[in-house]
Structure 1
Amino acid sequence: MKKLGISFLPLPELPEPESNKAYFISRTVRCHEIHHTILGLPITVAGEAAASAFYASTGSNPIDIGILSSWMLRGSYEPCERRLIWDGIGFGITVGQKVPELFSPRWEDGWERSIIDWQSELGITELMKSSPFQEYLANFYN
């Protein structure tokens, strides 16, 4: 995350004891950037579309489906981005079929582990070869 220039945003203080809803929101916000890192998704429209497709295909949360719809619409208004947006969406769905969720791994207990190690544990090493973000991955991992 440091290499990408990503840092956690400070979250508002949550009520004590933390409610299930507050915990879920906090975990979701904090894990989103980790998911970008583990899945090799750039912080771009196409990368966000891929993440949204992953969430929509695994959680069926109406909010995630709505956000995904907005990225799809963006592709119709920005022809130069269309192909990569749709390829990102396809990749996100494919990852979602392989790894049904990415919120339960104890990421905070494994900061010293490499991204490649995490990808191996999640069973997505081969899948990463089909990512539409190969140029980004090459720059990121080298």
Structure 2
Amino acid sequence: MFRVNTVGRFIRVSPYTVLSLKALCVRQQHTSSESADGYYGSLYPGHIPTTVLQKALLAVGSGVAALQNPYRHDMVAVLGETTGYPALIQLRNRMRDDPEGDIILTERPRIRLSTLDLNKMASLPDGSFGREYLRFLDDNKVTPDSRADVKFVDDEELAYVMQRYREVHDLLHTILGMPTNMLGEVAVKWFEAAQTGLPMCVLGATLGPLRLSSSRLGALFSSLGPWALQNGRGARCVLSIFYERRWEQSLEDLRGELGIQPPPLLGRASP
């Protein structure tokens, strides 16, 4: 049971509220006609059509759950999908205006264990993008398969843009040189907020510092934060890089191509 303080009063929000809302949407999943209230049928595999009201309820419920536990990636995902439509349009347009990004929108590559040649990546030299990404996965005990499929975006192309953002997140950790601890996650969220404008990223960048210790908060505001914001605003659209064709490229060269400065030393050394 969660308690949210709103104007001096506490509202109890059960974690099962979000699950109930999801179940409501699933019951409607097989409806294929458009109704007067703007409800649409499935647009892609796994799509769960929702009305504006349902999206609002899902956004509130998932937002509360994500605030309670930032590592609830399922709730963070729902929040991003139900609030990100305008930002996704802007990201899609940026990808279309970039020759490499346009190819990505056409070919729709996915970053999954089934699409990665792990043996080849392990044989690449230190400093190459593919080798450093594989090292990031190993060191942090994470896998690209942990990224959930998009369900609540009511546009097939925009759903892919959200999926691409989601699967590129760990690549950004590698490019930015950030670990998966809270300080590293907040620094990446500051970069992503400036780069994408997604409300989910802005919320994470705003509220994430509340969970940092005083020493890490000082590091964020004095060094990592300004670096992340500056590079997020100035970098090439990170969704417009066909990373699957860049494994052999050096990480240093890829950063230069994106217009991303190397991370502050504190960001690398922070536990």
Do both share a fold (TM > 0.5)?
A: yes
% identical equivalent positions: 22
Q: Indicate yes or no: 2:224 matched with 1:92.
A: no
Aligned to 1:41: 178
Q: Distance in 2 between matches of 1:60 and 1:84?
A: 24
Displacement, 1:80?
Answer: 3.5
Displacement, 1:93?
Answer: 0.2
4+ residue runs over 4 A deviation: 10-15
Q: Which runs of 5+ in 1 are unaligned?
A: 137-142
Q: 1:10 to 1:45 in 2, by over 3 A?
A: closer
Partner deviation per Cα, 1:56-81 (whole Å, 9 max, x = no partner): 11222222111111212223xx2232
Aligned to 2:161: 24
Partner deviation per Cα, 1:63-105 (whole Å, 9 max, x = no partner): 2111111212223xx2232223333222210211320521111
Classify the secondary structure of the residue corresponding to 1:80. Answer: helix
Q: Which runs of 5+ in 2 are unaligned?
A: 1-132
Displacement, 1:20?
Answer: 1.4
TM-score normalised by structure 1 residue count: 0.76
Q: 1:57 to 1:13 in 2, by over 3 A?
A: closer
Q: Distance in 2 between matches of 1:84 and 1:2?
A: 27
Aligned to 1:81: 216
Q: Indicate yes or no: 2:254 matched with 1:110.
A: no
Partner deviation per Cα, 1:11-48 (whole Å, 9 max, x = no partner): 55679xx9113212210111000011011111111111
Q: Distance in 2 between matches of 1:74 and 1:39?
A: 21
Q: Distance in 1 between matches of 2:196 and 2:150?
A: 24
Q: Indicate yes or no: 2:233 matched with 1:101.
A: no
Q: Judge conservation of contact 2:149–2:163 (CA < 8 Å) in 1.
A: no
Aligned to 2:134: 2
Q: Judge conservation of contact 2:189–2:204 (CA < 8 Å) in 1.
A: yes
Q: 1:129 to 1:13 in 2, by over 3 A?
A: closer
Q: Alpha carbon RMSD of aligned pairs, Å?
A: 2.4
Q: Judge conservation of contact 1:45–1:85 (CA < 8 Å) in 2.
A: no
Q: 1:113 to 1:85 in 2, by over 3 A?
A: same
Q: Give the letter aligned to residue 104 of structure 1.
A: S
Q: Distance in 1 between matches of 2:158 and 2:150?
A: 10
Q: Judge conservation of contact 1:41–1:47 (CA < 8 Å) in 2.
A: yes
Q: Distance in 1 between matches of 2:258 and 2:177?
A: 14
Q: Distance in 2 between matches of 1:95 and 1:13?
A: 28
Aligned to 1:140: none
Classify the secondary structure of the residue corresponding to 1:116. Answer: helix
Classify the secondary structure of the residue corresponding to 1:46. Answer: helix
Partner deviation per Cα, 1:105-142 (whole Å, 9 max, x = no partner): 11111112121121122233xx3164532436xxxxxx
Q: 1:24 to 1:71 in 2, by over 3 A?
A: same
Q: Judge conservation of contact 1:99–1:122 (CA < 8 Å) in 2.
A: yes
Classify the secondary structure of the residue corresponding to 2:145. Answer: coil
Aligned to 2:269: 135
Q: 1:80 to 1:21 in 2, by over 3 A?
A: same
